[in-house]
Structure 1
Amino acid sequence: MFSRTENFSQYIRLYPVVTFFLALNILIFVLTYIPFIGNQIYLAGMGVNYLISAGEWWRLFTPMFLHNGIMHLLFNMFSLYLFGPELEKIAGKARFLTIYLLSGIFGNIATFFLQDPGYRSVGASGAIFGILGAFGALVYYTKHILPQLRQIIVPIIIISIIMTYLQPNINTTAHIVGMIVGFLIGLSYFHPKRIVSWRRPKT
């Protein structure tokens, strides 16, 4: 399910939303390393709670596309590359888009309300955890139909949560809230009655 066998052109054609976010995150990361303007882009977009309080509300959105170092970027983009396509294929482009964006945004909103005023954060992890949460909802509805999916997804979710609390400098709030939001949206999107209506032939 999560092994990618497509070539480059097939991947782009089959998973345009995932491809867009991969390209956007990588492009912005490169831009932040351009002398003079790169640091300004990073500082203008990172999540800083006291600046959000001062009215810079875009910082609830822009941190999703910034990363603190190459390893941070690679980890998040590899996760998106690996898990995103299957969810985009199952849910569809528009539903995948809402899962990704709303999980990331609500993760940042929760960070704003639950962390101290000086807290700073960047990264797509809230959105990535939203993807895992949506898969969790799919497992909930298909546990008796697709037991192999449960065997794959549940350990990944558990390990991801554990690593969230073991690694330093991690926005645990965005991770956990992003996963919860993805799960709740998934419960709506993947409800058996809704899936039947998606697949019903048009007349």
Structure 2
Amino acid sequence: MRNIRTPQSSQHGKIPNKIYFPEKEAQQERLDEEGLPYAKVLYLQPAIWAIGVSTGIYILLAFLEAKSQLAPATSQQHHDRHLQSSPPGPIELATRVWAQQYPVEKVAFGLIATNGAVHLTSFLTPHFWRMLWHAPATNLNITMFTSTFVHDGPIHLLVNMWACYNFLPAAGSSHLFEGNAYHTLAFFLSTGILTGYAGHLTLMFKKINSLAFVRSGGASGALFAMFGVFCAQFPHAEVGILFVPFRFEAINFLPCVMLFDFVGMVRGYSFINWGHAAHLSGALLGVGYSYLDGKTHIWNPLVKFWKRRLQKA
């Protein structure tokens, strides 16, 4: 899930207005009824940034994929290892275990480790950690990316990483990604940015100034995109809700989740405060990318383009 945090809900105390509204002091004199400065939130510039950076991620990782395909195969020599009489050390053992993982599993474990490391900064360098969250009032585009890796407490982190561990390798091994680590990672990072912008965009339709200062963060936008791919690629697989002893077919479960998030985005719920726009847009991106066959129409042409360029170089 992607959490929405008000300035007062921070575990590190109330966040100063300067973090949310980095303008001149004179511009902060006009305050609303809640004592917050009036925010001028941009929408077109963040949209261009989100689309441009997402495209750049695909181009870069397609280049790395093409380069890896053209690289000569390296044969590893294990003869000396077989002659060793002593058991392997912990580093060598960990290296062997890591090498045995599938590429998309390495992506999942890498993302889990990254999110865990970022969460540690909330204790070590809380000011830096707060800067990673996305607040529309700041008009900082980069936080639409960095907010994918921040979580509001251990439960938020554990739930999202549980989803990452369960659904990303499964979706990555589907016909759409075919176990390709670069393609899977490109989709995850790009949808993290685009779903972050979706949450940003909803502020346009809510004329409440204080909402511009509400921070959002979490990997669930990208994870919902992976879940959308999973449900589209494996429609008859059984899925369920954590701690709920019932399971449903993915093709029936996903529309219910999307309806829940649509209502939450439009009307809101009194008992939860999640990033419904990020969840809904992520699911739509996952289903759309699957049905439109992004592998055939986007990823493979990019890889072929780079392979031709590299072969000519």
- The answer to whether the superposition gives a TM-score over 0.5 is yes
State the Cα distance separating 1:190 from its structure 2 match: 6.6
Partner of 2:127: 40
Q: Which amino acid aligns with 2:157?
A: L
Question: Where in structure 1 do 4 or more consecutive aligned residues deviate above 6 Å?
Answer: none
Q: Deviations over 1:140-187 (max 9, x none)?
A: xxx6xxx45796323442454466546512010111011111222222
Partner of 1:178: 282
Partner of 1:25: 115
Partner of 1:5: none
Q: Which amino acid aligns with 2:110?
A: F
Q: Which amino acid aligns with 2:249?
A: I
Q: Is the 8 A contact 1:22 1:80 kept in 2?
A: yes
Aligned counterpart in structure 2 of residue 80 of structure 1, from 116, 140, 164: 164
Q: Deviations over 1:96-115 (max 9, x none)?
A: 11221222111111111212
Partner of 2:190: 102
Secondary structure in 2 matching 1:121: strand
Q: How many residues align?
A: 175
Measure the CA separation in 1 of the matches of 2:238 and 2:288.
18
Question: Is 1:131 paired with 2:203?
Answer: no
Equivalent residues in 2 for 1:151-170, closer than 5 Å: 152-158=249-255, 160-161=257-258, 164=261, 165=264, 168-170=272-274
State the Cα distance separating 1:118 from its structure 2 match: 2.2
Measure the CA separation in 2 of the matches of 1:161 and 1:17.
26
Measure the CA separation in 2 of the matches of 1:120 and 1:73.
16
Measured on the aligned residues, the alpha-carbon RMSD in Å equals 2.8
User: Higher RCO, 1 or 2 (CA under 8 Å, sep at least 6)?
Assistant: 2
Distance 1:72 1:148, change over 3 A: closer
Q: Which amino acid aligns with 1:88?
A: G
Partner of 2:217: 122
Distance 1:11 1:48, change over 3 A: farther
Distance 1:111 1:187, change over 3 A: same
Distance 1:138 1:190, change over 3 A: farther
State the Cα distance separating 1:93 from its structure 2 match: 1.4
Q: Is the 8 A contact 2:132 2:150 kept in 1?
A: yes
Measure the CA separation in 1 of the matches of 2:272 and 2:128.
25
Question: Is 1:187 paired with 2:291?
Answer: yes
State the Cα distance separating 1:71 from its structure 2 match: 0.5
State the Cα distance separating 1:73 from its structure 2 match: 0.3
Question: Is 1:16 paired with 2:106?
Answer: yes
Highest Rg: 1 or 2? Answer: 2
TM-score (norm 1): 0.74
Greater helix share, structure number: 1
TM-score (norm 2): 0.50
Measure the CA separation in 2 of the matches of 1:155 and 1:73.
27
% of aligned pairs identical? 21
State the Cα distance separating 1:67 from its structure 2 match: 0.1
